[in-house]
């Protein structure tokens, strides 16, 4: 029998439910939200809203698929372990590849985003200087083994939600109808990867099961609640930011400045933008520590590298990407979302179908096999992966 870390036996069912929601929601909401307003403004706001709704609903089902798969399995794993159980060694290889793309992409985005946000706040030097300062501090903390706590990350996310509410209240008088376009056909594929990145959170599903402990009957409700909230959150945030800033102002910024909080500080309410940038810095900082620590431990414990080699493997690629300016904040979100998010979606769907047959535990909820929906999602994600490879690497 596996050990459930932090099983909350003495808490009320309501408290356990919200702990589960917070666990999944805290994983989903991150740097992706900062990139959505620009790409949606570029592609067309109404089209962007449609795409957010479509991909958001897709991830509601994907997270439910993952939840049922976890509940059908006696042993506790992470997604790589479930992939090996239901799809064999090949499945584990692809899930590991997806995890590496996801983490390296996120770490690169955080380095770029931190440098740009800190520069916008302090208004001295250059963004690269702040990126390097942040990098050194982050590496030192991870090397010392100090972990970012889930409570701290959740607290920052709640503050960010509060800022979004304030943005909405203060932006209403400044919203201009001319900033809302229906669709811009040449850029229809631009938001896809960024929005996909913003909805990625499936690796937290096994952790949610641990948090719920014996209250696994709450799993379905937790997943639905935590998966639906970001849909409305992203749409509202995008509406307020695009309505206030507009595409023309976004285009005046450098590529690595087209971050929602930076645009708000420059073109909306400076104090509100300043506060939003501070929260973005802190939120990306805790996420950077969490993801980099996880990857160091993968190299150190799973692949038996020394700690120094594990640190080098974890941090060298994101640093080189930034130093040689091989990507931008928006671009790395788009590539990471399309590739890693697409691979996750395909593998989770296949694992879900396999778990229906090979699972060794009676789940607390059971969906239909959803062959039509699953087939559509596999096709959608496959086309997204192919398009991203062709345009980014072969085009």
What are the residue boundaries of the structural domains of the chain, listed by start? 15-394
CATH 1.20.1740.10 is held by the domain 15-394: yes
CB atoms within 10 A of CB 322: 23
- Length of the chain equals 395
**CA–CA gap between residue 220 and residue 141 (Å, rounded):** 36
Q: 360, 72 in Cβ contact below 8 A?
A: yes
Single pTM value for the model? 0.90
Q: 307, 300 in Cβ contact below 8 A?
A: yes
Q: Which two tokens stand for residue 147?
A: 């972990």
Which pLDDT score, from 0 to 100, does residue 147 have?
61
Which pLDDT score, from 0 to 100, does residue 7 have?
43
Which pLDDT score, from 0 to 100, does residue 15 have?
85
**62: nearest Cα among 347, 345, 350, 338:** 345
Digit-by-digit pLDDT tens for the chain (395 residues) are 334 444 444 678 888 898 888 888 878 888 899 999 999 999 999 999 999 999 999 999 999 999 999 999 998 888 888 999 999 999 999 999 999 999 999 999 999 999 999 999 999 999 999 999 999 999 998 888 766 555 665 676 677 778 778 888 877 888 888 899 888 999 999 999 999 999 998 888 988 888 898 899 999 999 999 999 999 999 999 999 999 999 999 999 999 999 999 998 888 877 778 888 888 888 788 788 878 888 888 888 778 899 999 999 999 999 999 999 999 999 999 999 999 999 999 999 999 999 999 999 999 999 999 999 999 999 999 999 999 999 877 76
Which pLDDT score, from 0 to 100, does residue 6 have?
42
Which pLDDT score, from 0 to 100, does residue 157 have?
67
Q: Which two tokens stand for residue 333?
A: 């979100």
Scan for tokens 């994600």, then name that residue: 381
Which pLDDT score, from 0 to 100, does residue 10 have?
66
Kindly state the DSSP code that residue 6 receives in the 8-state scheme: T
Burial (Cβ within 10 Å: 0-12, 13-18, ≥19) of residue 314: buried
Which pLDDT score, from 0 to 100, does residue 170 have?
79
**CA–CA gap between residue 245 and residue 265 (Å, rounded):** 10
Q: 335, 193 in Cβ contact below 8 A?
A: yes
CA 369 to chain centre: 26
């Amino acid at each position: 029998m596996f050990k459930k870390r932090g099983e909350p036996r003495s808490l009320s069912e309501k408290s356990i439910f919200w702990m589960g929601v917070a666990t999944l929601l805290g994983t989903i909401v991150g740097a992706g939200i900062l990139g959505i307003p620009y790409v949606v403004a570029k592609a067309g706001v109404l089209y962007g809203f449609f795409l957010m709704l479509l991909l958001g609903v897709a991830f509601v089902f994907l997270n439910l698929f993952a939840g049922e798969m976890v509940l059908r399995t006696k042993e506790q794993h992470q997604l790589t372990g479930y992939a090996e159980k239901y799809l064999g060694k090949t499945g584990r290889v692809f899930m590991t590849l997806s995890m590496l793309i996801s983490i390296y992409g996120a770490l690169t985005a955080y380095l770029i985003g931190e440098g740009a946000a800190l520069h916008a706040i302090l208004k001295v030097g250059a963004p690269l200087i702040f990126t390097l300062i942040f990098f050194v501090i982050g590496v030192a903390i991870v090397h010392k083994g100090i972990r970012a706590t889930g409570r701290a990350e959740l607290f920052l996310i709640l503050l960010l939600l509060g800022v979004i509410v304030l943005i909405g209240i203060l932006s209403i008088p400044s919203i201009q109808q001319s900033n809302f376009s229906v669709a811009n056909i040449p850029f229809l594929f631009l938001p896809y990867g960024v929005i996909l990145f913003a909805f990625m959170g499936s690796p937290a599903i096994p952790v949610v099961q641990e948090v719920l402990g014996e209250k696994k009957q709450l799993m379905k409700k937790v997943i639905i609640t935590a998966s639906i909230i970001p849909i409305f959150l992203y749409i509202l945030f995008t509406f307020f930011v695009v309505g206030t800033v507009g595409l023309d102002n976004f285009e005046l910024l450098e590529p690595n400045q087209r971050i929602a909080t930076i645009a708000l500080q420059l073109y909306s309410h400076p104090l509100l933008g300043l506060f939003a940038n501070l929260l973005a810095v802190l939120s990306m900082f805790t996420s950077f520590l969490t993801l980099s620590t996880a990857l160091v431990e993968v190299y150190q414990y799973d692949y038996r590298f020394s700690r120094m080699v594990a640190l080098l493997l974890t941090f060298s690629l994101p640093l080189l990407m930034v130093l040689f300016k091989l990507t931008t904040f928006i671009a790395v979100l788009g590539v990471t979302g399309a590739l890693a998010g697409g691979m996750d979606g395909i593998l989770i769907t296949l694992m879900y179908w396999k778990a229906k047959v090979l699972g060794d535990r009676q789940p607390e909820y059971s969906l239909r096999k959803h062959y039509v929906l699953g087939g559509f999602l596999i096709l959608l994600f496959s086309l997204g992966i192919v398009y991203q490879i062709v345009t980014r690497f072969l085009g």
